[in-house]
A = this chain, B = another copy of it.
């Protein structure tokens, strides 16, 4: 007997669940309902549509074989009935009926279901401030809005844009508007770093510096208080300044669309995410939910988390499709993985950042490394920056973040850690990760192995490190003469700095240190530096062994300082 499946929402999770089910049980009757006219599109591609990388919005709706995923496509190719421009008003769980209303002719109807799937997605947060209804203020929530934004941009009337929120969408939109369209773009962020909660402040500063070099202005730790303008927005007023704006992108996060579920009496978390078990069932076993409208387990913390990502929605959708067909597949939860391309760099994450780990109660520390993405003797090598978050005592790896060029080399390393995080690896597992090796792809000791080694040395108390922010604090207080900065590189590298700061910057190449211990002051904090933090670590071992006490090694060395945007 064929079952009736009704799916609310037809962007990512819905179509995936529908198609998987149809492949397993071709007899099922599947109805997808969406309030929009456009369905089954790659929402994550919107910034690339705005930037012009994708010329036509239909490309976001096309399959790899160039068919448009519209109502006709689902009917003919997938045997799934898609009902668009239609809102679901309510769910009657007892009668197993959904009440729907057409947004075209307001006609209502009742659709019966055996199993129901909720894939309603999320809604961008609209700041509850004066002027938020002015024309020219947009969220990036759906393809129709994206088409309107692009029309405004291509009309050539937008000279200045303000993006509110330095999360992924905000940054991608900032790049999209600035890069091809040369719109003067500012980003206002209420937190004091970009990508808050995802990467460390140090890495965030590096990424921000790169965007600033590409003409994006940032106003960090500022709160938008109101918008001004006649019918159209012309000014964004923060607690600190007034920014002119022909266009505003509000990218201040999203909230799950769970009202329907709540009204139907399903369990919804205090933060608004529909609660599901590992089989993606809600508190009503005949109703599944997934994607941006649900909360799922964070595998690292063991606590619920909210991850509005198209990639998770797709995988959850497949699990739901399998289970609708009678299987018992499980979706274990999320580690929270992330990547973004920002002009010529990429930034990625898997698991917890150091701040998040500390906030979650882990006694954690992070190890930072700079190394080439391939053998250092090849000329087309690029530097890559990785940060590993580990728990003290256990050595458990909680997360990794990376910054590299815009290719896949850095992501290749984050991928390797992303895969193992659920198995609770320790630093030793990272030190001995056996990634495929050849000179065009890595060093014999891959940067990840080296990162595991650095973390092990930090946890063992052998490598006493400071990050760039801490270095900057010491450096800015250098006139107090409490610290001395010892440059462990060859003297030619150190010379310009020694000449400029003779009182504070001292050159002792690491290979000469054992013989020049008498030149190291006994009464000061000793800050060791080299190109990347590796020779300065060796210097620290020598000083430790010689009985010096207050020694700190700058993780990432001059390479990290430069990337951070500091000129010494």
List residues of chain A with CB under 8 Å of any chain B CB. 12, 16, 23-24, 26-27, 42, 44-45, 48, 53-54, 59-60, 62, 64-65, 67, 73, 76-77, 79, 168, 309-315, 318-319, 329-332, 334-335, 337-341, 346, 348-350, 371-373, 375-379, 406-409, 411-420, 423, 428, 431-442, 444-446, 449, 453, 462, 489-490, 510-512, 514, 530-532, 534-535, 537-538, 541-542, 545
Query: What is the chain B residue whose CB lies nearest that of A336?
Result: B434
Q: Closest 5 interchain pairs by CB?
A: A339-B436, A412-B412, A311-B437, A77-B511, A408-B408
State in angstroms the CA–CA spacing of A412 and B537 once bound together: 30
Query: A411 to B411, Cβ gap below 8 A?
Result: no
**List of B residues within 8 angstroms of A545 by Cβ:** 26-27
How many copies, total?
A: 2
Could you say which residues of chain B place their CB within 8 Å of the CB of A16? 445
Q: Is the interface of A mostly helix, strand, loop or mixed?
A: mixed
In the assembly, what is the distance between CA of A26 and CA of B462, in Å? 12
A411: B residues at CB distance < 8 A: 408, 412, 435-436, 441
Is the CB–CB distance between A436 and B449 below 8 Å? no
Partner of A419, one of B24, B433, B530: B433
> Is the beta-carbon distance between B434 and A337 smaller than 8 angstroms?
yes
**Is B65 in contact with A377, judged by CB distance below 8 angstroms?**
no
A437 engages B315 (CB within 8 Å): no
CB-CB nearest in chain B for A406: B440
Q: Give the residues in chain B near A62, CB-CB below 8 Å.
A: 376-377
Q: How far is the CA of A150 from the CA of B79 in the complex (A)?
A: 64
Q: How far is the CA of A261 from the CA of B60 in the complex (A)?
A: 63
Q: Which of B42, B330, B511 contacts A439 (CB 8 A)?
A: B42
Contact flag A377-B449 (CB < 8 Å), given A436-B337, A444-B310: no
Taking a contact as CB atoms closer than 8 A, the residue among B339, B375, B416, B538 that contacts A416 in the complex is: B416
Known: A53-B379, A332-B432. A408 touches B406 (CB 8 A): no
Q: How far is the CA of A60 from the CA of B65 in the complex (A)?
A: 46
Which residues of chain B come closer than 8 Å to A350, judged between CB atoms? Answer: 434, 436
> Is the pair B412, A445 in contact by a Cβ cutoff of 8 Å?
no
- Complex formed: what's the CA distance from A290 to B483 in Å? 43
C-alpha gap A551/B73 in the complex (Å): 25
Q: Known contacts A376-B64, A444-B12, A511-B76; is A318 also within 8 Å of B423 by CB?
A: no
* Residues of chain B with a CB closer than 8 A to A409's CB: 407-408, 412
Q: What are 24 A-B interface contacts by the 8 Å CB criterion?
A: A23-B541, A24-B462, A42-B375, A42-B439, A45-B375, A45-B378, A62-B376, A64-B371, A64-B372, A64-B376, A65-B490, A73-B511, A77-B510, A311-B442, A315-B432, A338-B437, A339-B441, A341-B438, A349-B436, A407-B408, A408-B411, A419-B419, A419-B420, A419-B433
Q: How far is the CB of A176 from chain B (nearest CB, A)?
A: 12
| Known contacts A77-B511, A318-B431, A411-B436, then 4 further A-B pairs from the complex at CB < 8 Å, ordered by chain A residue | A26-B541, A314-B449, A332-B432, A337-B434
